[in-house]
Structure 1
Amino acid sequence: MRTQSFSLTTARTLLATASILTCIAAQAATITIQSRDPVGEGFNDPTPATPVGGNMGTTVGQQRYNVYRYVADIWERNLNSNVAITVSAGWEALTCTETSAVLGSAGAWNIWRDFPNSKPNRWYPAALANKLAGVNLTDGTPDDGSGFGNVDIKTQFNVNLGQPGCLSGRTFYLGLDGNAGGQVNFAATLLHELGHGLGFSVISVNTSNGYRINASGSAYVATGGVPSVWEDFMYDNTAQKSWLNMTSAERRVSAINNLGLAWTGPNSVAGASILRSTPILKATPPTGVLPVINYQASAFGPVLPAVSSLGALATLTTQAGETGPGCEPFNAANIAAVRGKVPIISRGTCGFAVKVKNAQNAGAVGVLLANNVDGDIAPGGADPTITIPSFGITQAAGDALKAAVAAAKPYGTRSQPGVVIASLSTDPTRKAGADSLGRPLLYTPTQLAGGSSVSHWDVTASPNLLMEPSINADLTLNVSPPYDLTLPLLKDIGW
């Protein structure tokens, strides 16, 4: 899980009352990295390290910096700006537990409005504002005392990742080749977070209440306020309104309108042709018909063909002393129930990979992981020893399938209860991660995910996209079609 940060510390205005620019030819961007790590820590960590995956650094600190520079170079090649982009980078102790962790965060430290070449009355992230204005808008402004008050992007990553109590054993993979295995691919994570800092974020709206930042940049306000450039391209299919035309209350509702908020920017809509047909799960009971179900493949385990047989479904019974469904080794009754079948296991307490590994050890041939709240899930985690497929489904779908399994039992024989058979297929009439008009969807789960909701692509996208709320193992370090939609969105807002 990652969070995206934003500060109101330095929201600024430049009134474009006179032309201050001449015509300037566009050039490739330049990204300057400023470390704020103390001696012996972060980028300065002297711990010896063996070169890995094309990263030839010989200390942990050197390898961290090499990845940072490598990823910055990718963004430089994809963006045009005559003004250097300044990034403040640091390694810090971020929130984490044994089962979850904030990997890192990034955001535009300064935001600007009403500068030359901007849309009137719109907030912009600093790097994009500078690009459009053709000058560094913070030049001559004293630092705010933080030491990074005039940077364009501020980033921080979890220095404790992989240590006891912080996803023990799952460290950042510092290679440049994508072969992270069960580790966390730092290059992809950093590419994602810098995307936020460059502008892949709603920036000026508090999604918990829909409030916008006021014109002075000092506070969120219930009415009025200044929209961000993002709001020009956010359209709620249920309300049939753009965020530009919504009240704060309407924006709050839209931020949790699962699969209801589309991005209308022309570059992204054109690029959405890369999205595949929507994957669906079909379940066939002995009698009656069940509706098709959308699913998301887990980040771990094997990948099945889009059209595949899955097997007979099964359910678990509650085990004495269990901490959560599927979180402990299965008892004899559950082993008998799932052997050779596909159990439906509800989310909760332990990680998805733990549940699937316990099911695998019990003889299951696959697992359906049902959400425990409304909305879709894309099960994350890692365990290279998992050899069976697993898939995330909604809470409603899980409940319906569990009921169908129970209802099917009387339709069998004396020796073999009736079963529900599941298979995988696709719906060629729908694009995975897009609305009915082919416009890519933003992430709006029914329970607000602070820092994630609205400022990511939806988890239903296929192929997986860089700017989804989770880093998936199949990501490349490409930001444009035919691999990804990050650059098209950035172009929509002015890059």
Structure 2
Amino acid sequence: MTQVLKPLRTAVLLAVSAVVCSASMAAVAADAGSVNVIVAYKAGAAAKLRSGLAGLGGKLRADLADDNAIAVTVPRAKLAKLRALAGVDYVEEDVIHTLQGQRSTSIKSRKAALAAASTQTLPYGITAVQADQVAGTPAWTPKVCIVDSGIDGTHEDLAGNKLAGQNFSGSGSWNTDENAHGTHVAGTVAALDNDVGVVGVNGRKQVSLYIAKVFDASGSASASTITKAINACGRAKANIVSMSLGSASPSRTEKRAIDRLTQKGILFIAAAGNAGTTAVSYPAGFDNVMSVAAVDENKAWASFSQYNATVEIAAPGVAVVSTVPPNVLTMSVLKVGGVAVPSLSMEGSPVTGATGALADFGFGDTPAAGSMTGKVCLISRGNISFADKVVNCQTSGGVGAVIYNNTAGELAGTMGDVVTTIPSVGITQADGAALMGQLGQSTYVAIEPDPAKYAAFNGTSMATPHASGVAALVWSYFPSCSAQQIRSTLVKSALDIGDPGRDDKTGAGLVQAKAAIDRINTLGCAN
């Protein structure tokens, strides 16, 4: 199985994609000669700045009046003149943020998701953070604002929640999700305890959700878009802002909004990032944001999780099963002689299917025009790239490609930047050996829309809603506590799982709902 927003590149459970875009992506050029920037202006200078911008051939993209700024596209050659305009405070690149979670490709994860589809299951993360140990009647209902790719508002496990939102993505509406990531995050926070699917941290409607949609299917959004969403969270009177996203570069404007709203009592929580390095991801790296690292079901640090001095706490982020919209993700299908064979999609494979006789194509390193016409190529891993193998199959007339591993384990490969027109999947070495005995059999290989309503994802994106959900759950019992007191309590009550005391990989440790509640019951909000 794979997903539209880009599947994993290996079958190793923890091998998620890098956290953030490179510095070269920080400024998204509208064309080769222009750049997108945020211009902050001094009080009272907005009108004069707009006039000067027009004179430079600039184009207004977003009004960020809450933070005395505008987002513009301007000719790169005019940046120096833009900075020199009267009333300009600063000019910064409108850096790009990306989602910090992707679908797990492992067969084990697929089985866990299928189990959720047949009966209600309790994801391991809910017990790991002690949400299942919290009983009693909450005193109030905090509002969690999820800045993400939207939500499937009709989902069977989410529709019973109190939902509202606003769309900043230009794709669909706030209660649709063309990416699946936002719905997955929302499910971890608030999937209902309703006899179907999964259970969220707040499964008994202890929170209300406000959805600030900033991502479309591509999974990237600018700092100006995210800043607008953050301010919408503030206007919606959110108590917690959950951000499963990150950028390699900080945005001063984004920080300005976060700092201002923190002073108004909002708690910000964000993903530490998935690069598996000491690099700092933003907004998680800002002082007024809780940075959340990821751990697995054994409470071990996930190797993809970024580690540094800004990491504050940890939460489950590996093979997390939660809600997704049906037919947004995709899945691989392989049937040989009418019998299904487990497979994984090649990243970048087109959504299409084909039927043909199964044929041995060796290592796929020797194309021959017409040699595979109308056939499905069975190819061994090795010698050349996956993309080259598929291209050679296609060039030889093949209608589909099945690549089998040359070592034990599942095979999840990638086409990289190569565009192919035939479906391609990966299978195990053992299944490849078995299929060598079935050459000539009618074979169907395809990448198809996945009708599943549940899926397993990896990433600090998945850890973030666990922490956000716990913060909301704890706060729901203590309305008199402030956001900073809740934040402090979560840190002080965390389960130490890394090196003794605070460490850069897991911060204070694994977030714990019952322990936090017990601490406040014993010591009060200012504990």
> For this structure pair, what is the TM-score category when the shorter chain's length is used for normalisation?
0.3 to 0.5
Structure 1 length as normaliser, TM-score?
0.37
Structure 2 length as normaliser, TM-score?
0.36
Higher RCO, 1 vs 2 (CA within 8 Å, ≥6 residues apart): 2
Structure holding more strand per residue: 2
